[in-house]
Structure 1
């Protein structure tokens, strides 16, 4: 555990927030999850319990460790319950206006010395920090999905982030047995700057009729040794998230090579967002996923 951080606040009981809560509690931290509805919190806690139970079944954790981890996690729909946190990690939707609104509500209840971090996968850390009352104590701690499985965390400093904040964040991530990579504050950082244009290009390859969904994913799995095809991966990430990251790249770097594929836009407009909505480049409503093109 970190020497300076003991209580971790998490904003958002979605997939990312619950994953961060899971690994933080497993490492010995007290964790409090805040979300707007108690239903979302209950659902998130059930997901964490299920994931921990799977680790017990696989022999990677004892049942005592599972119970101890769960006992360190609490949740509520009252923002004031984040007050004891030494570090608050915002894991809300990838929408800058939503994040800014959250900071305006959360900063007044936080301890003056507490650190605030965002799990954004693409937005400017410097710009988000400017919407808080603690730009020196604000930075990006970008976990990969699914958090309990993925070993990498990108640390991103804003222009105002001080060295003590960075050191504390690095120590915290190390205590979770994750590997740190340091990225500069440019749109989409390192992983998504490389990964999302590849996914976008795979969608263009489909859009232009070069190959079918199945052909493209098989080609990249067997021809490039990727564990998952790019279209399958896009569905896993969420096509709305893929589109928002491509828009951040296109707007932030003003280069036509980052133009989102029109087919990606069409799927998002249709509400076909991938696995979470039941349809994307694959249809997940039956026993086995079936390509939609």
Structure 2
């Protein structure tokens, strides 16, 4: 097993802060970068809160203060010049990812692997923004990253075996498992998952069944821990819509058309658990 130095995490949103927490709680030094200082403050608070909650349920995890000790929060992206592995986690927007990856590319040492954490955008498309496409791979972390046991690693057209091995070793160092798949819009997990949650939304939209009934059927009949609409709320309905939009554009297949009810909830700002309201209501 290789030894890792500093891990760079770009983007301090829900997933990015979770990824930073995952590696910090494994004892690795982490630099968490975001251009918004307020988002960094929120990430610090959420990491401390989640570390406390996860520690109550999962024995053996470090205390919040130990996790935070391994984290450096900064709005200066030049801090990435010292990292040995970088993971980008910004929103599912190709234009924004283009700008971020070009900036990352100028700062990182040439040999440092770069992982794009995306729900649906093809990794080969992202690697095209880089001057070093061979070092670019995909790492699809499930929410919440500190708890979920598996990471989907994606092999882009130019990804080297060395970059893929580094990603797999990093996941192992964090106490998790990984499976490497070839590049495709949505990869394996979201190519299937987005179809399921979207079709569940259509069932509610068409009045076939209510929200509670749909989720209960999946949990009771198939043993799922969460129903498809609960899952969509956890992911974030805005992220679900963006993922479906990308899949629709990439495949030109109408089966990925976003449900009108999903669009209406996103337009209303009812984006799921993080907003306190989605298909279900949540008390913050």
Alignment TM-score > 0.5, same fold: yes
- Counterparts of residues 1-293 of structure 1 (less than 5 Å): 3-58=2-57, 60-61=59-60, 66-284=64-282
SS in 1 for 2:144: coil
Is the contact between residue 155 and residue 182 of structure 1 (CA under 8 Å) also seen in structure 2?
A: yes
The aligned counterpart of 1:290 is: none
Provide Cα deviations, 1:172-208, integer angstroms capped at 9, x if missing partner: 1111121111221111011111111011111111111
Please give the alpha-carbon distance, in whole angstroms, between the structure 1 residues aligned to 2:229 and 2:58.
32
Which has the larger Rg?
1
Provide Cα deviations, 1:133-166, integer angstroms capped at 9, x if missing partner: 2101111011110011101100001111111111
- The verdict on how the C-alpha distance between 1:281 and 1:67 changes in structure 2, with shifts beyond 3 A counting, is closer
RMSD of the TM alignment (CA)? Answer: 1.8
TM-score (norm 1): 0.91
Shift of 1:55: 4.1
Q: What runs of 5+ residues in structure 2 fail to find an aligned partner? A: none
Shift of 1:58: 4.5
- Provide runs of 4+ in structure 1 moved above 6 Å: none
- The verdict on how the C-alpha distance between 1:195 and 1:56 changes in structure 2, with shifts beyond 3 A counting, is closer
Provide Cα deviations, 1:201-230, integer angstroms capped at 9, x if missing partner: 111111111111122122222122221121
Please give the alpha-carbon distance, in whole angstroms, between the structure 2 residues aligned to 1:55 and 1:154.
22
Q: What runs of 5+ residues in structure 1 fail to find an aligned partner? A: 288-293
SS in 2 for 1:3: coil
Please give the alpha-carbon distance, in whole angstroms, between the structure 1 residues aligned to 2:212 and 2:27.
43
Please give the alpha-carbon distance, in whole angstroms, between the structure 2 residues aligned to 1:212 and 1:164.
48
SS in 2 for 1:169: helix
SS in 1 for 2:4: coil
SS in 1 for 2:82: coil
Aligned pair count? 284
